[in-house]
């Protein structure tokens, strides 16, 4: 079975703090893709990153960074020097290429950044 777990339901931080959002996944497939999306209060899910299972390099994009570790089946997302505009719900998702068109989403982590 495929599953994505985001154990943190809600996190509150003060502006400029660093924050890490956890994502743990389960799949038996050897080829799979992991995603992070941001959902601001407006409601639209905004794509942040896509990572395939063969690329374990960490990725950095501005204040955002992602740590992919196959050994622990985790794909964590860190925001450095958080800002109020980072307040949103963040979703981690998993997709495989084993014949299904499905994407498995976690339940999301609500991040509140306080000024």
Partner 1 sequence: DVKVTQSSRYLVKRTGEKVFLECVQDMDHENMFWYRQDPGLGLRLIYFSYDVKMKEKGDIPEGYSVSREKKERFSLILESASTNQTSMYLCASSLFRGGETQYFGPGTRLLVL
Q: Can you give the binding site for partner 1, defined by CB under 8 A?
A: 9, 31-33, 35, 37, 42-47, 50, 52, 91, 93, 95-103, 105-108
Of the two residues 16 and 102, which places its CB atom closer to partner 1 in the complex? 102
- The least distance separating partner 1 from the CB of residue 107, rounded to whole angstroms, comes to 4
DSSP secondary structure, 31-45, as one string:
SEEEEEEEE-TT---
Q: Is 46 helix (H, G, I), strand (E, B) or coil?
A: strand
**Which residue in this structure is represented by tokens 């991040």?**
111
- The least distance separating partner 1 from the CB of residue 54, rounded to whole angstroms, comes to 12
- The least distance separating partner 1 from the CB of residue 42, rounded to whole angstroms, comes to 7
- Enter the DSSP assignment of 112: E
Of the two residues 15 and 29, which places its CB atom closer to partner 1 in the complex? 29
Task: Assess contact for 48 and 63: CB atoms under 8 A.
Answer: no
Task: Give the side-chain half-sphere CA count within 13 A for 31.
Answer: 4
Of the two residues 43 and 115, which places its CB atom closer to partner 1 in the complex? 43
């Amino acid at each position: 079975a495929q599953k994505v777990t985001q154990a943190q339901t809600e996190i509150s931080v003060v502006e400029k703090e660093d924050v890490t959002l956890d994502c743990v996944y389960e799949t038996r497939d050897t080829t799979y893709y992991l995603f992070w999306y941001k959902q601001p209060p407006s409601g639209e899910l905004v794509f942040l990153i896509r990572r395939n299972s063969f690329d374990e390099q960490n990725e950095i994009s501005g204040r955002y960074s992602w740590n992919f570790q196959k050994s622990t089946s985790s794909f964590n997302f860190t925001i450095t020097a958080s800002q109020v505009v980072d307040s949103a719900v963040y979703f981690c998702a998993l997709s495989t290429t084993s014949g299904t068109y499905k994407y498995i989403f976690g339940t999301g982590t609500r991040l509140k950044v306080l000024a």
